[in-house]
Structure 1
Amino acid sequence: MHIRILGAAAGGGFPQWNCNCPNCGGVRREELNARPRTQSSIAIRGADETAWTLVNASPDILAQLHANPQLQPGRAYRDTGIRNIVLTDSQIDHTTGLYMLREATKPWPLWCTDSAFDDLTTANPILQVLRRYCGVDRRRIDVAGEWFAVEGSEDLRWQAIALPGKPPPYSARTPQPGDVIGLLVEDLRTERRLCYAPGVAHIDSSLFELMSTSQCVLVDGTFWTDDELVRLGVSHKRAADMGHLSQTGGMIKWLDRLPATTRRVLIHINNTNPILVEDSPERALLSSHSIEVAYDGMEIVL
């Protein structure tokens, strides 16, 4: 199984277009040892090098596709290596890129939960719009734990992990299971697993068991502290209010409990998080715990 990190930042990217926090201002002035990142998305394939599954379609999808030529096999005038799209939620940061994929030559096989499908056909009807262009072949993700396979990568199997979370701010729905999911992806040839959870409010015993049986965990790295945005004066919301477990609020401790052979990688990193600075004390602390920080273009092979 091959995993490409298309974008490693949280919503807004890094630097964020309207942000002058120490991180964003510093990287613009080239005063920090930090690399820019686009908004969170990954691509996964099995044995077939031309059959990729896009997990979340960020607003930066066109730049991400340009930066990853593996996703453009060039077999015809109109071609792509993306065979399927899987969504972990219906947030704007994970779905706006669908508009940019409207020139596809056939309907997109798109996997999502019922709650995400409801949002994307009513309050924010992206899928209704796409039906007037390339079309969408919606596939249902069962949050009860049923395994599924995607087209072109039958050597991989997928399972949704229901996570605590809320509908997007634009949605008027009450919270329900499936608003936020993680993904367990297993390579049937090697029996090696990826646990992908870019948005984690807290970790319970069932989620930790799945993480413990995975050879790589690619998990929520949004905030360093719970009060990060409050201290900077850019928001009144804490990390927990936004559905994220901060590194110092418990994520590092949970990752420390994983087997020594498990690869630990943080993704969906907010522009304010000091771990973006590669020579920062916070990054050094992560390294001492064998925790990596994802970056655009990073490749993981399991």
Structure 2
Amino acid sequence: MKIKVLGSSAGGGFPQWNCNCPNCDGFRRGTVDALRRTQSSLAVTTNNADWLLVNASPDILAQIASNTELQPARAVRDSGIAAILAMDAQIDHVSGLLMLREHHCPLPLYATASVWQDLSSGFPIGPILSSYCRIERRQIPAVGGDGATLAIPFLTDVKVTALALTSNAPPYSPRRNSPVAGDNIGLVFENSATGKRAFYAPGLGVIEPHVMAAMCSADLLLIDGTFWTDDEMIRLGLSSKTGADMGHLALTGTGGMIEVLDTIARPNVRKVLVHINNTNPILRERGPERAELERHGIEVAHDGMQFEM
């Protein structure tokens, strides 16, 4: 099983097009040592030919251009993307579907019932694409306490489990502030042959017991690293909302993600932060915050980062 980080940034990417925070402004001026990042997305394969795209970000065309595995190779009209899985209906995770409208056949899309509802109403990507390539709906079963197992045929010997995460529906959703199980999910990828597991959760605000169990049993954690502090956006004058208000557990503070990750003692586990906001100081390659992460054995994902399991 091969896992590739296509995009490692939160919504807006890095640098964000309209932002003059210290990170974005410093990057443009050349005074901040950091890597350009596209918006959050992952790709998984077992045969290097057929890939599951996890979240279709607005940057999907740039991500395809940067990853030859996803480019056409077998026919005049073709793609290495064999299916797409939407973990939620947030704009930065699904609007890339519109960029794939020229697909040569209907796009297989795995999504929960609540995500599909949003993509059929509040943000009607499904109806829009019915005039283009169309979407072939693959429903993710109801995600109970033990999660839901998905059958993805081309991921040979890989068990995929969807876990419900406590989260709100997107701001545009008719169900905003009335969340249901399935509005946001985490994913466990398990190689049936080796028993190796990866847990992917780019949007994680609450560490519930079933989430902690998945984290503790994983050999690879690709986990929410959106904000350094809970009040990051407020202090910078960019928002009136905390990280928790936006559904993200900050890295620092009591009960923060660093503290949670420190409790995971599984031998040789890799702890990698994804979905990093443009304001987060860990983007600075040689900053004190990055050094702090290194002391805790925590890595920062970058676009193109790859894992073999």
Q: Normalising TM by the smaller chain, what interval? A: over 0.9
Deviation, structure 1 residue 257: 1.1
DSSP-derived class of the 2:32 partner:
coil
Report the residue type matching 1:153 in the other structure.
L
Q: Does 1:242 align with 2:255?
A: no
Partner of 1:256: 262
Alignment partner for residue 292 of structure 1, among 291, 299, 308? Answer: 299
Gaps of at least 5 residues in structure 2 are none
In 1, Cα distance between equivalents of 2:77 and 2:174: 38
Partner of 1:66: 65
In 1, Cα distance between equivalents of 2:72 and 2:190: 25
Partner of 1:104: 103
Alignment partner for residue 208 of structure 1, among 193, 212, 218? Answer: 212
Q: Does 1:222 align with 2:226?
A: yes
Q: Does 1:136 align with 2:135?
A: yes
In 2, Cα distance between equivalents of 1:132 and 1:57: 19
In 2, Cα distance between equivalents of 1:233 and 1:13: 19
Cα separation, partners in 2 of 1:73 and 1:132, compared to 1, 3 Å:
closer
User: Can you list the C-alpha shifts for 1:256-284, whole angstroms capped at 9, x where unaligned?
Assistant: 11124211000000000000001000000
In 1, Cα distance between equivalents of 2:215 and 2:179: 25
Contact 1:107 1:137 in 2 (8 A): yes
DSSP-derived class of the 1:247 partner:
coil
Report the residue type matching 1:156 in the other structure.
V
Contact 2:148 2:163 in 1 (8 A): no
Deviation, structure 1 residue 300: 1.2
Contact 1:228 1:239 in 2 (8 A): yes
- Percent identity between the two aligned chains: 53
In 1, Cα distance between equivalents of 2:29 and 2:107: 41
Contact 2:230 2:243 in 1 (8 A): yes
In 2, Cα distance between equivalents of 1:92 and 1:253: 30
DSSP-derived class of the 1:63 partner:
helix
Contact 1:162 1:182 in 2 (8 A): yes
DSSP-derived class of the 2:26 partner:
helix
User: Can you list the C-alpha shifts for 1:126-166, whole angstroms capped at 9, x where unaligned?
Assistant: 01111211111111112122311213113212111100100
DSSP-derived class of the 1:83 partner:
strand
Q: Does 1:232 align with 2:236?
A: yes
Q: TM-score, normalised by structure 1?
A: 0.98
Contact 2:39 2:58 in 1 (8 A): yes
In 1, Cα distance between equivalents of 2:195 and 2:72: 28
Partner of 2:27: 27
Q: TM-score, normalised by structure 2?
A: 0.96
Partner of 1:158: 160
Partner of 2:91: 92
DSSP-derived class of the 1:147 partner:
strand
Partner of 1:146: 148
In 2, Cα distance between equivalents of 1:276 and 1:243: 20
Partner of 2:82: 83
In 2, Cα distance between equivalents of 1:33 and 1:164: 35
Report the residue type matching 2:129 in the other structure.
L
Deviation, structure 1 residue 189: 1.7
Partner of 2:183: 179
Contact 1:13 1:270 in 2 (8 A): yes
Q: Does 1:280 align with 2:279?
A: no
Report the residue type matching 1:162 in the other structure.
A
In 1, Cα distance between equivalents of 2:204 and 2:64: 27
Deviation, structure 1 residue 193: 0.7
Alignment partner for residue 192 of structure 2, among 188, 193, 214? Answer: 188
Report the residue type matching 1:276 in the other structure.
L
Question: Root-mean-square deviation (CA), in Å?
Answer: 0.9
The runs of 4+ residues in structure 1 deviating greater than 3 Å are none
After superposing the two structures, state which structure 1 stretch, 69-78 or 48-57, moved more: 69-78
DSSP-derived class of the 2:299 partner:
strand
What is the total number of aligned residue pairs between the two structures?
A: 301
Q: Does 1:198 align with 2:202?
A: yes
